[in-house]
Amino acid sequence: MDLLEIATQSAGERLIKRLAIMRRISQRNDWIERTIFSPAAEEAAYKLKNWMAAAGMETFYDPLTNVYGQISFSKNGTEAPRIHLGSHYDTVVNAGAFDGILGVLIGIAVAEVISESKHPFNHNLSVLAFSDEEGVRFNTTFLGSAYLSGQFEEEWLHKEDEYGKTLGEWLVDRAESVDTILNAHQSPYIRPQDLFLEAHIEQGPVLENSNIALGVFTNIAAQIRSEIILDGCAGHAGTIPASLRKDPLPVASEMILAVNQLCKSDESIRATVGHLEVIPNASNVIPGRVKFSIDMRYPNLKGLRQIHDKLSKQIKSIAKLTNLKFEYNLVHEARDAKLDEKLTDILSESCDIIQGSSIRMFSGAGHDSMKVAQICPTSMLAVRCKDGLSHHPDEFASNADCILAFKAMLQSVLTIDINC
């Protein structure tokens, strides 16, 4: 074997071992959970930073806890175009072991191969581990990738977690400069002259049903998240007749059924109520407050806004028929992303080389690539996951498929370095 083959084999073995290590880093014992600023996220960041450094990378850990490293191969120095590889290392609640982190570890493995084999390379190479793609703590996604690409919005500093603590307060408590965050757009790490590739499990069943390990995403759906709050009056479950109650739960239930009917009305629409709070949540107390989320997705933002407006009017009309206090808050909007055709072609050709075929797909799941694609050419490699299951402890991608994904990404990076 030549040096490139030897380095590829070694890096692949480390990739599988590191996936197992990251699987054990969690703030919960019964499932995987790593949310921004948690001790588990800090531990994961420390591991990633060390692995990047071991690959010969200059490493960084920024105020929003993104972890990233760079090897300056280019003769033009650190400001030359960068090929960025990576994904996110945070998780949802009740998460699996592959969502996000697989893409980060594949990026590190690719960097190791190029560095260890001393393979000629023209670009600078960067690996990114984004801190908050899922938006669990502050209910707004892509904080990490928005910061590194110069798209951080000041209003996000006022987003509260479940305990009422804002992102800005978290930063102050961590002795971080809020001005540094706000001025990130002046000199972003991800720039228009750069390129970005993200490997990610499919989070759906298309690859498995096609009996193929790898695919390439071409587009990513637009997203809107809303929060609905209904305030009534809590009371004794045994003493207050129905006609005198101000119970928000039946009203919320009617609204949730409307969301479900919307989702069923068109296969292109995804509408989900994934978070529901009933307060005080006691069996013998009439609820006083109900709060729930709506996650909506559609192939394009224009169509999604029209669908969202229709649903919000329906929900507001339901609220008007009651004596309850009602709030409808739009908390997040992300435009759809069309991924770069040239990079997508290269990824597709690499899949052909590695597995003998290729498939192009649409992603209904959101990814950091949506944010990065607004700044520089971006594309995504999709990896088969068992039963299409994700955001679940049983999420699974085989070692063989992970190695294939790593090899396809390495092949793509080497091709891009010569042709782009």
Separation CA 197–CA 101 (nearest Å): 14
Tell me if the domain spanning 222-334 has CATH number 3.30.70.360: yes
Whole-angstrom CA distances from 349 to 354, 413, 419 are 9, 12, 13
Burial class (CB within 10 angstroms; exposed 0-12, middle 13-18, buried 19+) of 75: exposed
pTM over 0.85: yes
Radius of gyration, CA atoms only, the chain = 23
Separation CA 381–CA 409 (nearest Å): 8
Q: Residue ranges per domain, the chain? A: 3-221+336-419, 222-334
Closest by CA to 403, choosing from 85, 101, 45, 105, is 105
- Is 81:419 a contact under the CB 8 Å cutoff? no
Alpha-carbon dihedral sign for residues 360, 365, 370, 372: negative
- Note whether 3-221+336-419 and 222-334 share their fold: no
Residue 116 CA to chain centroid, in angstroms? 30
Residue located via tokens 């280019």 = 74
Domain boundaries 3-221+336-419, CATH class:
alpha beta
Written as one letter, the residue type at 294 is I
Strands 124-130 and 82-88, by their bridges, are parallel
Per-residue pLDDT of the chain (420 residues; tens, 9 = 90+): 699 999 999 999 999 999 999 999 999 988 899 999 999 999 999 999 999 999 999 999 999 999 999 999 998 988 899 999 999 999 999 999 999 999 999 999 999 999 999 999 999 999 999 999 999 999 888 999 999 999 999 999 999 998 999 999 999 999 999 999 999 899 999 999 999 999 999 999 999 999 999 999 999 999 999 999 999 999 999 999 999 999 999 999 999 999 999 999 999 999 999 999 999 999 999 999 999 999 999 999 999 999 999 999 999 999 999 999 999 999 889 899 999 999 999 999 999 999 999 999 999 999 999 999 999 999 999 999 999 999 999 999 999 999 999 999 999 999 999 999
